Chain A
Amino acid sequence: MEATLFYILALVTLVGTGFAITARQAVRAIVYLVNSFFALALIFYLLGAPLVAAFEVIIYAGAIMVLFLFVIMMLDLGHPERMKSPRLVDWIPALVLVLVTAASVAVLAMEHHAQPLAAFSGISVRQFSQALFTRYGVAVELVSLQLLFALVGAIYLGRRR
């Protein structure tokens, strides 16, 4: 049951992301990406991380993608000219990456003997927040300070005319 669900969701994620990067219009790409985020959230849920699933939907699909949509609508660049389809040369980096990925998967598949993971029960919100704010509290502080300075920098650079 779970395995079937996982493969369906994985397929949706992959296809959604694939369409997102090939879509010619930004709005369509965003909708495809939101789609794949939803599928990804369900995969996290299947893995026993309901909190991460909720964050995925709330933060990525909800906040960030909506922000992207707003920016695209506010800028209203009209109809950007259609991109030319990539030349043969432009495919080389992608092909190299595909080869590297395929080779790494092959190496891993040959060496690794699949071991079933130990029984894993979901993590409660309490456990998650305890780990986040004690063991990784420094990281949270660092990120919050970084966001503050990102904001300051964005406001400063926004003055450019």
Chain B
Amino acid sequence: MTYSDAISLLPLIIVGVASLLVLLAGPFCHVRVVTVIGAAAALAAGFCAAAVSPVNSAGLPGLAFTPLARYLIPVFCVAAALSLLLSHGYNLRHEIRGEEYPATVIFCLFALCVLPCATNMLTLFLALEAVAFSFYVLVAMDLGRAESAEAGLKYLLVGAVAAAVTAFGLALIYAGTGTLALGALTAPAGFHSILAAGWGFVIIGIAFKLSLVPAHLWTPDVYQGAPAPVAGLLSTTSKFAGAAFLLMLLAFAPPRAELHLPLYVLSLLSMGLGNLAALRQTNLKRMLAYSSIAHMGYLTLALLTGTRDGYSAVLLYGAIYTVMNLAAFGAISSLSANGERSSIADFAGLGFSAPLRGGVLAVAMLSLAGIPPTAGFIGKFFVFYSAIRGGEIVLAVIGILFAAISAYFYLRVVVQLYMRPVGAHLPKPCSRAESFALICSSLAIVVIGIFPTPLLRLVESALSHS
């Protein structure tokens, strides 16, 4: 490992060291200091990744700072830093004490940063599982609420099965190709069916991770039980990481013909069931869970086309979805007092009694619905555009129809916020860290929506070499 290798892997080193530092400094410092260290390290790693120019040569065996990594690492870093800022106040109110929470978030970020740098399947799989692993702990972090433990157990059981299935699929792909290196995944003749079987298992495993129908049953319960900032991080980074995992494998000679049908069905069912089930929810977190199922359906639609347009739509949509959902869950977590404010009726009139947070929640809802001046519109536009260009016209039309239906349940929240009398439970004032994080995420939603060109250019450069 030379000096330049170390420079190119600096983001990983920063977050890896920061996670240990947070753990070690925890007993001696106030949790506020530790959280600031974590958030600062995450931002530093993000800047570092954005500044370093990507190299395609392996820095270490199994790791290389690829163009894809240069795009994904800053997104993950910003998401982790924002959710650390958002969770500080929430954790104080919910008595989630100690340095374990920030340390686990930073470790999760470390695994997220390793994932796009992986150059062999083993590192790729381990990174994905390390992400899931830290979420098993984070989801159950709230010792005061029984639902949190229940959600942690549910996520652990489902995640373990999904990990086993994915590992089995990767083993079959290895058996078919004879190599773990991602760059050399082409099957010799005669091994096609074993490779297709391996891909089938990988798709099943990733369907669990992305909570695509019919592997979605864990999602509403886990989102409802998990602390709101954790649910925000879980619904954004872990989903985006799962999509990136699939994207990195898909870049290397997949059995395209066999994969089309399963992905088609998964996308269709997720868009349909996610949007229709969300119509009937009275709990905001469960509604967002079903909405995330639907959004992952849109993502799969873009992935399914197999074109460069489709892949860039996936990267774009992943980043936009990250910002939108972080804003939504951030507003929920900041509005929650000792308990969770999760019933939609509890948000009545909050647009007036808590203008900033109500406004951010409304912007996030409008963006999730895909209303034009917001980022959500740009994301949906490119997903459906790439689907139509890629020849999936029927599925794209179905998707657009479901997206139109989805406006109903998103706008219902906005109606609650601004057109209902103020409810009894007024939220506590918003801390500075929370307002900063909320303002950042909602600004990002609006700026990307009005001026998407820089993000589009970044997406283009992320796909330039791979």
Contacts and interface: CB of A to CB of B under 8 A. Distances in A.
Nearest to A160: B143
Interface SS of B by simple majority: helix
Contacts of B127: 142
A130 to B, nearest CB: 12
Interface string B392-433: 000000000000000000000000000000000000000000
A121 interface: no
Contact of B63 (A113, A138, A145, A149): A138
A8 B359 CA distance: 69
Interface stretch (B44-52, B66-74, B78-86, B100-108): B100-108
Nearest to A153: B137
A157 B114 contact: no
Given A104-B197, A149-B104, A156-B100, A142 B60 contact: no
B126 A156 contact: no
Contacts of A139: 62, 122-123, 126
Interface residues of B, number: 36
B103 A149 contact: yes
Interface in A115-161: 134-139, 142-143, 145-146, 149-150, 152-153, 155-157, 159-161
25 contacts: A108-B193, A108-B197, A112-B194, A135-B61, A136-B120, A136-B122, A137-B60, A138-B60, A138-B62, A138-B63, A138-B123, A139-B62, A142-B126, A143-B126, A149-B19, A149-B103, A149-B107, A150-B137, A152-B23, A152-B103, A153-B104, A153-B136, A156-B141, A157-B149, A161-B143
A156 B110 CA distance: 20
Among all A-B residue pairs, the 6 with the closest Cβ atoms:
A153-B137, A138-B62, A156-B100, A146-B130, A149-B107, A142-B126
Contact of A146 (B63, B126, B190): B126
A83 B234 CA distance: 35
B20 to A, nearest CB: 8
A90 interface: no
A36 B141 CA distance: 37
A156 B98 contact: yes
A2 interface: no
B62 A145 contact: no
A111 interface: yes
A160 B140 CA distance: 10
B16 interface: yes
A107 B149 CA distance: 43
Nearest to A141: B16
A142 B111 contact: yes
Interface string B136-179: 11001101000001001000000000000000000000000000
Nearest to B197: A104
Interface of B: 16, 19, 23, 60-63, 98, 100, 103-104, 107, 110-111, 114, 120, 122-123, 126-127, 129-130, 133-134, 136-137, 140-141, 143, 149, 152, 190, 192-194, 197
Interface in A73-121: 104, 107-108, 111-113
Contacts of A108: 193-194, 197
Contacts of B197: 104, 107-108
Contacts of A111: 190, 192-193
A92 to B, nearest CB: 14
Contacts of B143: 157, 159-161
Nearest to A111: B193
Contacts of A107: 193, 197
Contacts of B114: 138, 142
Given A143-B126, A152-B104, A134 B61 contact: yes
A112 B98 contact: no
A139 B61 CA distance: 10
A109 B149 CA distance: 45
Counting chain B CB atoms within 10 Å of each CB, the highest count among A104, A107, A112, A146 belongs to A146
A95 to B, nearest CB: 17
A152 B134 CA distance: 10
B129 to A, nearest CB: 8
Nearest to B138: A153
Nearest to A138: B62
Contacts of B136: 153
Contact of B16 (A134, A145, A150, A156): A145
Contacts of A146: 107, 111, 126, 129-130, 133
Contacts of A137: 60-62
Counting chain B CB atoms within 10 Å of each CB, the highest count among A104, A153, A157 belongs to A153
Contact of A157 (B61, B110, B137): B137
A155 B27 CA distance: 15
A109 B119 CA distance: 32
A138 B126 CA distance: 10
A99 to B, nearest CB: 14
Given A139-B122, A145-B110, A157-B141, 12 more contacts: A111-B190, A135-B62, A138-B61, A138-B114, A139-B123, A149-B107, A150-B137, A152-B23, A152-B137, A153-B134, A157-B140, A159-B143
A159 B61 CA distance: 39
A137 B1 CA distance: 12
